[in-house]
Amino acid sequence: AAGQRHSERGMGTTAWVMMAHIVTLGTWSAALLILAGLYAGPPSQSERAQVHRHRIMCRYVFVMVASPAAVLAILSGSGLVYLLGASGSWLPAKLLVVALLAAYHAYCGSLLDSQGMESRRSRPRRHHPLLIAVPIVLISTILLLVLAKPDMVFEYQLAPQPAGQRHEQGTQQRQ
């Protein structure tokens, strides 16, 4: 009975961490999409009030929404890997895509800085509208990898094996 209570408590913890991960990942993803939209279409430079509002929105979304959500999503995802003992060839691929999403997040921060969001003198610049395609592709890839958990083949797995080990390895992978 004590072991059963421990596993139930463990599953409750896992459920809470998974919920936190889903919520924070969704928030982080939405914030990155909003930032891409804001960067793609800044207001006319003649509208000083609009430029000021745009500057505040970009800064708020990045500093108050996207950055905390990113940290919490990565921490809760790491917790899930630990709690679930997640493994599989899809996991390194997913972690790579998450690292790319974090790099895109950092790029959005550099755009915030380069657009002079901290300075009153500078005006926001228009960026390529395809900037929104990057987070869409990365977020979709993360979802695909997590939900489908495809078998990935990496170069180190393609190394020639002695004939006897090939059969054993194939049997182990099918189990």
Output the tens digit of pLDDT for each of the chain's 175 residues: 444 444 555 568 999 999 999 999 999 999 999 999 988 877 777 788 888 888 889 999 999 999 999 999 999 999 999 998 888 888 999 999 999 999 999 999 998 887 765 555 555 566 677 789 999 999 999 999 999 988 877 655 555 566 665 555 554 554 5
In this prediction, residue 3 carries a pLDDT of 43
pLDDT of residue 124: 57
Q: Are 5 and 75 in contact (CB under 8 A)?
A: no
| pLDDT reported for residue 162 | 62
